[in-house]
Amino acid sequence: MAIEVAMIVASVLELSRIFNIPDFIVSFFLVSIGTSLPELVVDLGAIRRGEVEIAIGDIVGSCIIDASIAIGIGQVFFPQAVSADLAMPAILYIILASIGVIFLIVYREKVDKKTGIVLITFYLLLYILLFVIRTSPVWDIPSSATMIKGLI
């Protein structure tokens, strides 16, 4: 497994270099989709069999693991300073996506095909926004951390 991880990291870095795209953007799209596909297959299988609670439990559980345990273990064994400028857009997205999902479920009282399309569109729009902000010199905006501190 360590060899595969090293190959994935090296590939992400090489793609970033070749296309002159920040590592964060390549990993946000390619690595996250690659690590989520096995879960997606499990979740779709569970939903197809009518085991919706299994799918929801897996989705919520993996979000909690990714947001806390995976980051925490990484910092315990390989401590590195994580820039607020890098972390804040992702944190803001998680908050907005969570609010969006809650709103859609409460407002529509169900999760259906239309809700799914809205969520996929939300993801794609965020990806495009992050790509534009991270790659365009035109977007000379204050850091996310500075903007958040200004709101508090």
**Per-residue pLDDT tens for 55-107?**
888 888 887 887 788 778 878 888 877 666 666 766 777 787 778 777 877 88
Percentage of the chain modeled with pLDDT above 90: 5
Query: Which residues have CB under 8 Å from 28's CB, separation 6+?
Result: 90, 127, 130
Which pLDDT belongs to residue 145? Answer: 46
For residue 87, the model assigns a pLDDT of: 67
Rounded to 5°, angle at Cα 135 from 132 and 139: 65
Kindly tell me the burial class for residue 109, based on how many C-beta atoms sit within 10 Å of its own C-beta (0-12, 13-18, 19 or more). Answer: exposed
pTM of this structure: 0.60
What pLDDT, on a 0 to 100 scale, did the predictor assign at position 148?
Answer: 46
- Judge whether residue 49 has pLDDT over 90: yes
